[in-house]
Amino acid sequence: MKQLSLGSIYHMPWLEYRHTTPDGHIVLRLRTGRGEFERVMVRIANHYNYPDPFALGQTLPMTVAYQDDLFDFYEIIFPLADPRFKYLFLLYADGERVYKLDGAGLRYGENTFDDISESFAFAYAYPAAPMPDWARGCVGYQIFPDRFRRAGEGEPGLEPWNSDRVQSEYRFGGNLAGICEAVPYLKELGVDMIYTTPVFFSDSAHRYNTFDYYQVDPLLGTEGDLKKLCDTLHKNGMRIVLDGVFNHCGLGFAPFVDAREKGRDSEYYDWFFFDDVEACGYRTFSHEPYMPKLNLQNEACAAYFLEVGEYWLKTCGIDGWRLDVSPEVWPDFWRKFHAMMKRVAPDSLMIAECWDDSREWLTAGDMFDSTMHYMLSRNLWKRFCHHSIPLSAFDAAVNNAAMLYPQRTQDVLWTFLGSHDTMRMLTRAGGDSRMLHAASFFQFTFMGIPIIYYGDELDMEGGADPDNRRAMRWDNVEGNATRKHFKKLAKLRRKHEALKLGAFRTWHVGNDGLYAYERFTDTERVLCVLNTSCEEVTMQLPLPEPLRSQAAVRDLYGERSLPVWSGLVEIKLSVGEGMILK
């Protein structure tokens, strides 16, 4: 008989293991050792159905949704007329061994007594709040305003557009009018939403050291220019998310100036942390004295920034806030901010800048809707840039990422190849555009919101901050093969619901680097096939149903048909090349 790692069996009646969908379906998940059980069932009962609730209940099969190198993650999604229920799991191994797992723990035997009081409970399965429909699976584009596009002559003293002096003290004069001019370009590329780094008054090019949260930086334009940009985007079916920096401010922020000058006599003194943790005498972002940390446990300080968030939602009609350094901010402030956003603009999106596991901030639904999914990014870099992990390890990381959050959250996670805080993807890949193409193929055919960092579609390079903030290469637009690649991916994503909103399942993980995975909804199913290696790959790939029963499959990306023989299709992919089979 197979040896079982019983310690691998795990369920938590919360978060990703037990939740609801916006349409009221129940989602239950269970972890086991990989490949150890022949089948897993869940037994469900209403504890108010006396005298024997389980006799009136039902037993339903679960399927393996995700796998990593150690575990299988079983899942079931089902409707339930009465949302009050309790449940336990039945695990069937070879040799007719059966185990039960309930709230009291794991025990052996299928016919042992099931005590309803010791079963896992879902007291009342209220439907989850839906995410904004416009955001689910859309295509995003990150803009660093000073370096994106300059309309007009600009002010004296600005850097030439081709300057290599990219440090934060040098201004290039990109402005809101320039972004507005670029809307047709972005629309043609397939962008549904833009995200801009901060636009408020500051003395740096990055503007993360804000002086005035109610004033658009004059180099960028005016409040009227921001309103015009929002309106132009909306008329073109696009959305805009602004960057809110509420963890810290700049030295010129009036309350900080007052607190620093007057000390404890200032009404703003407790808006900050004056102590000896940092040599400058107050706490900061990182160890940067020019970015004093804000104390959002202070009610007056919190009220001020809640009003800031509400002001820009109302006056300019922005569609969301991305919140900088969000894990270091007092959590209750984010609960208040989320409630404010959904009250003022129910269709808005609230995004965390969290580089790590974000379940604390996302899954309960009372703080953020989404996060910047750097956990996925790091594994994309390892596989496609550094070639430091085998495909099996990459697939395990992808499955763990897919398991980490409910599907409603997966639909709106921001997936990045690079950002203003990281090296550009092409530079990280040693200038190999084939790896940029491969990684972006995966990004656009995976769950979430793929975010293009401005210029990546034009083969822009850049090392660590600030070199990753070079001026946009508008001279490299025409005939650019990478731009054509991104444009095609965005078009396919918009056209095919399975790519935009479908679930994810691994299909094939080859030692030769060939990776195949399904994306599917109730009405559409596609198979994505990608060469993640540095060599050409050729093989006869077995197909899943219903593709294996077809006479031929269509490659949506390559716009060609391939014959199917005995459930197999011949795959021949060059380095970084992918196909989407339907």
Residues labelled catalytic: 324, 353
Nearest to 374 by CA among 350, 395, 401: 401
Tell how far CA 397 is from the center of its chain: 15
Nearest to 412 by CA among 361, 350, 504, 328: 350
CA end-to-end span of the chain = 40
The residues facing 494 across adjacent strands are none
User: DSSP assignment, residue 274?
Assistant: B
Q: Quote the CA–CA distance of 335 and 337 in Å, as a whole number.
A: 5
**Vertex 399, ends 321 and 320: CA angle to 5°?**
10
Q: Quote the CA–CA distance of 272 and 274 in Å, as a whole number.
A: 6
3-state helix, strand, coil in the chain (%, to 5): 30, 25, 45
**Number of Cβ within a 10 Å radius of residue 513:** 22
CB 328 within 8 A of CB 245: no
User: DSSP assignment, residue 284?
Assistant: B
State which amino acid sits at residue 544: P
Q: Two tokens at 431?
A: 């200038």
Backbone φ and ψ of 573, nearest 5°: -125, 130
DSSP E strand boundaries for 48-96: 58-67, 71-78, 85-93
Q: Quote the CA–CA distance of 474 and 466 in Å, as a whole number.
A: 20
Nearest to 56 by CA among 71, 72, 70, 44: 44
Q: Two tokens at 371?
A: 């996060």
Task: Decide: helix, strand or coil at residue 61.
Answer: strand
Q: Quote the CA–CA distance of 43 and 58 in Å, as a whole number.
A: 6
CA distances from 8 to 73, 420, 579 (A): 11, 39, 36
Task: Decide: helix, strand or coil at residue 74.
Answer: strand
Phi-psi region of 286 (alpha: psi -120 to 50; beta: other; left: phi over 0): left
